[in-house]
Amino acid sequence: MTAAGDLDGRVALVTGAASGIGAATAAHLAARGARVFATDRRAGGAIFRHDVTSAADWEQAIAACVARFGRLDILVSNAGTAGAGPIVDLALDALREQARVHVEGAFLGMTAAVAQFRRQGAPATGTIVTVASVAGMKPIMQTTAYGTAKAALIALSRAVAAELQAAGEAIRVHAVCPGGTRTPMTEALFDDAYWADPANFAEVPLRDYCRPEDIAEAIAFLASADAAALAPAALAVDGGWLLSNRI
């Protein structure tokens, strides 16, 4: 288990850090000793404005991170968007938007981060953690576009990990896959009554939803030396959602 101080001296860039899982992860990594560069489409305070679908924004974000802290060791590719609805009502633009943010955005981040890792030394070292979803591992009703994009993100993470390992580089790539997690993004899809009703989680072994801090803890583990021997993973943090009949 990770502990305070185990990420001392490491520099982490966390996207989508203004709220939810991103904000919890930024706080968690900082508590572990990391120096955190937080980005989001919504700039403000310590948050750097960053649209993950823009290659230019990625260059600027990483350059600003390196200018502030001198290097980059960890990328948490968390920024995302959500939508829900039956497939018969799904517009093609909705599918494309999910792919643009979750797949293209992560791809741009990975390539930019790997380039920075390589500039810092050979063999290149670093860790990338993408935030996918159990919706990318099993069908979940009303999430066709979102789940399709997250499945592609898991595949992308595994492929990049395999390619970098084959090249002899010490860059680890993992995907963390949250189950139902209450965040501002999911609260916009499901009202307070949904989250308050135990019946909605009765088929999940945990019998509850996840909190952003649960996901942040898993990300901190994957970013730490404790996970050094872990093969490229799609780590479900879902209270048992994958084991349930819940769809």
Q: Which residues are catalytic?
A: 146
Which residue bears the tokens 């501002």?
184
**DSSP letters of 125-188?**
EEEEEEE--GGGTS--TTBHHHHHHHHHHHHHHHHHHHHHHHTT-EEEEEEEEE-SB--HHHHT
**What letter would DSSP give residue 86?**
-
